[in-house]
Amino acid sequence: MGLSETRHFAATHAQTVHLAEDRLGFAWYSFGIRHPAVFTPRARGGCAQGRSPGLVILVFPVFHTIEKRVHGAFHAHIQVRYGVDLAFAIEQPRQSDFGEMAVPAAFQLAKQLRQAPKKIASELASEIGPIEGVAAYEAAGNGYINIRLDRGAYGAGLLGGESEEAAASGEKIIVEHTNINPNKAAHIGHLRNATLGDTFVRMLRARGQRVEVQNYIDNTGVQVADVAAGFHYLERKSAAEVKALIADPAVRFDYYCWDLYARMSAYYHDHPESAPWRSATLHAIEAGEGDIAELAHLVADAIVEKHLATMLRLGVEYDVLPRESEILHLQFWASAFELLKDRKAIYFETEGKNKGCWVMPGLSEEGKVIVRSDGTVTYVGKDIAYQLWKFGLLGKDFFYRRFKTYPDGGELWVTTDDPSAERGQFGHGSRVYNVIDARQSYLQDVVVAGLRGLGYEEQADRSVHFSYEMVALSPRCCAELGIALSEEDRQRPYVEVSGRKGLGVKADDLMDTLIAKAQEEVDSRHAESAPEERRRVATQIAIGALRYFLLKFTRNSVIAFDFQEALSFEGDTGPYLQYAAVRARNILRKLEERGERLPDFAAELSREAMARQLQSEDFWQVLLAASKADSAVERALTAGEPAHVARYAFQLAQAFSNFYHQYSVIHEENREKKVFLLWMTDFFRRQLERTAAVLGIGIPEYM
């Protein structure tokens, strides 16, 4: 999956450039700095911003603009001088004192010209004419051309708000994530899925992309059936009794089901003779008749609510919940089946071990069974139908009703089979990302193969399995949870989370623990603040820590979950970012508390003043880093790697923390320098807050 997926990303994002500026950043001065909540209104969100279609999206493309200029100039010069149409990328030098950009073109030319790269580099460096925004070139190393920017012009460009409007994209991208079976509480593995998916969505929206977030609900599957069977056969509870249980505020229903599911799974395992319960339950659910079917609906609906609440704590919202029950009732599969048969994407096997089944050829020697010999469809088959619907290729649609309105105004819809309900506004994506863990790669390949088999090559190319590795438990974590490990498991580097065995860290428990720990820190530092305010700050810190922890790993690395690491607020963590932003704000707040006002930067900071101040390497490095927020998100999008955004944010915060320690801003006596430092501090603050918002991390009022 790795290779082809990378290619997808490269093809998708190569031409796009820009990231949203939080417009409120511009309005900030007029609001005054006493109300931080005003200029970070979406501590958790940003979703509504992405949803509103008319928003003008502004960016600071100064670096990118110069980059393009440099590339163009070298490309043209090389063409004229050597007659070569050379493809090359602008790189970032290894060390900051080498300059801001590096052109490696001489290495590539060396091969074609049969000359030493060093020689070519010196030729290029001395012959290339002046480029706007560039102060100097020099040949260095074995053949690099290092480029130093005109710092005064650069700073003036940022201050002047040279901005562009991101090209509004008409196409809609569908991102499907979360997809938790609605039969038990969410655990850390689900949190990784949702956080990755949500952050990817924020990255796309930051770039001005239209995105639809789907959270598929398998409310008729085996997992729900097992819990329904648990209530019915093991606990002998009626639907009415379960209803009462759900309504009981003393019971955490999703936790209750967590245990019941583990018990029922164990029972099935120990009592193979009870297997008919399972199929009886599934049949009842499909037929929609009887107490047990009602039980299943009650369980699924109640747990979906719990999951939505859990995810909202993390700032994760959805646009639509496509449900398996409607896929069933509206007979999506029947339509897909006809298509697959008509276009010969599947065939009826008449012999061998798959005799009597409809099989998709190609992926393995025996092919993949899509329809069983008893005529029922497998999970992948239904998934193919769902994928077809996402692209608008099924020839069928759901009906929809509004499910809830989020506190930030966003609307969540759910599918229904009621023909009098609304229709038409979902699906029809031009590109689809399925955030699903790496263990399901094979099945995702089958889905894509299904599209190809139907002749939908283009859509197959635009179906991306946004895969990630699982979250497992470290041995120490198991010990802390009191999980007894077998001798075999103890030898392993980590233990897989298992809902079936009830083995795992529940999402809400983890968040509660994080909040409690953050609360201790906040209480010890800000005993004077109102309790509910401290609670809010602690929550933001906890969520920031959690989201950052889940995002800092690249997708294909297994996370061996460890409480000590996840609960850390120091070093490479979310709170570190928040702390840097809070400090930048405090500088600006203190200024006002001293009775001073924020200067009119544009009036006081001439280009010459910028150039003077930016001679300081320390100042220049902070400003340069802060100005690259857009391209950091851009690069992360190209790589399909939210972790890259996290890394950039951390490095930016680090640069500022370093600066903060070395220089005093409000006590600076030189007027020009003070104005410059204030401007830089504010610019940093805005850029870090924007980047944190892309990560779904809010900035607390204080820390």
Partner RNA sequence: GCGCCCGUAGCUCAGUUGGAUAGAGCGUCUGGCUACGAACCAGAAGGCCGGGUGUUCGAGUCACCCCGGGCGCACCA
Burial profile 246-267: b = 16 or more Cβ within 10 angstroms, e = fewer: beeeeeebbebbbebbbbbbeb
DSSP state of 417: -
Give the range of 49-57, 385-393, 399-407, 434-442 binding RNA by CB under 7 A.
434-442
Site for RNA in 132-171 (CB under 7 A): 140-144, 146
CB of 240 to RNA, least distance (A): 28
Strands (E), 244-387: 320-321, 347-348, 358-360, 368-371
* Residue 376 sits in the site that holds RNA (CB under 7 A): yes
* Residue 124 sits in the site that holds RNA (CB under 7 A): no
* Residue 598 sits in the site that holds RNA (CB under 7 A): no
* Residue 221 sits in the site that holds RNA (CB under 7 A): yes
Q: Are 306 and 181 a contacting pair, CB within 8 Å?
A: no
Among 26, 82, 98, 267, binds RNA (CB under 7 A): 98
Size of the site for RNA (CB under 7 A): 109
Give the range of 159-167, 198-206, 331-339, 564-572 binding RNA by CB under 7 A.
564-572
Helices of type H across 368-440? 379-390
CB of 533 to RNA, least distance (A): 12
* Residue 556 sits in the site that holds RNA (CB under 7 A): yes
Q: Tell me the C-alpha distance between 201 and 642, whole Å.
A: 10
CB of 149 to RNA, least distance (A): 14
* Residue 361 sits in the site that holds RNA (CB under 7 A): no
Among 205, 644, 686, 690, binds RNA (CB under 7 A): 644
Q: Tell me the C-alpha distance between 611 and 159, whole Å.
A: 13
* Residue 379 sits in the site that holds RNA (CB under 7 A): yes
Q: Are 99 and 93 a contacting pair, CB within 8 Å?
A: yes
Site for RNA in 491-510 (CB under 7 A): 492-493, 496
Q: Are 436 and 466 a contacting pair, CB within 8 Å?
A: yes
Among 89, 247, 479, 481, binds RNA (CB under 7 A): 89
Among 42, 71, 252, 372, binds RNA (CB under 7 A): 372
Q: Residue 49 or 220: which CB sits closer to RNA?
A: 220
Q: Are 9 and 469 a contacting pair, CB within 8 Å?
A: no
Give the range of 26-34, 207-215, 597-605, 660-668 binding RNA by CB under 7 A.
660-668
Per-residue tokens: 372: 């069983």
CB of 580 to RNA, least distance (A): 8
Q: Residue 314 or 587: which CB sits closer to RNA?
A: 587
Region for 406 from its dihedrals, namely left if φ exceeds 0, alpha if ψ lies in -120 to 50, beta otherwise: beta
Among 576, 619, 620, 683, binds RNA (CB under 7 A): 576
Among 11, 31, 37, 92, binds RNA (CB under 7 A): 92
Helix H or strand E encompassing 359? strand 358-360
DSSP state of 469: P
Q: Please provide the DSSP assignment of 205-242 as one string.
A: HHTT-EEEEE--B-TTSHHHHHHHHIIIIIS---HHHH
Region for 346 from its dihedrals, namely left if φ exceeds 0, alpha if ψ lies in -120 to 50, beta otherwise: beta
Among 34, 87, 111, 130, binds RNA (CB under 7 A): 111
Beta carbons within 10 angstroms of residue 168's beta carbon: 13
* Residue 571 sits in the site that holds RNA (CB under 7 A): yes
* Residue 699 sits in the site that holds RNA (CB under 7 A): no
Query: How far apart, in Å, are the Cα atoms of 340 and each of 14, 354, 360, 472?
Result: 34, 18, 9, 38
* Residue 356 sits in the site that holds RNA (CB under 7 A): yes
Q: Tell me the C-alpha distance between 668 and 679, whole Å.
A: 13
* Residue 34 sits in the site that holds RNA (CB under 7 A): no
The rounded Cα 13 to chain-centroid distance in angstroms is: 16
* Residue 222 sits in the site that holds RNA (CB under 7 A): yes
Q: Are 574 and 598 a contacting pair, CB within 8 Å?
A: no
Among 84, 663, 672, 673, binds RNA (CB under 7 A): 663
* Residue 216 sits in the site that holds RNA (CB under 7 A): no
* Residue 625 sits in the site that holds RNA (CB under 7 A): no
Q: Residue 51 or 552: which CB sits closer to RNA?
A: 552
Q: Residue 134 or 587: which CB sits closer to RNA?
A: 587
Burial of 477 (0-12, 13-18, 19+ CB in 10 A): buried
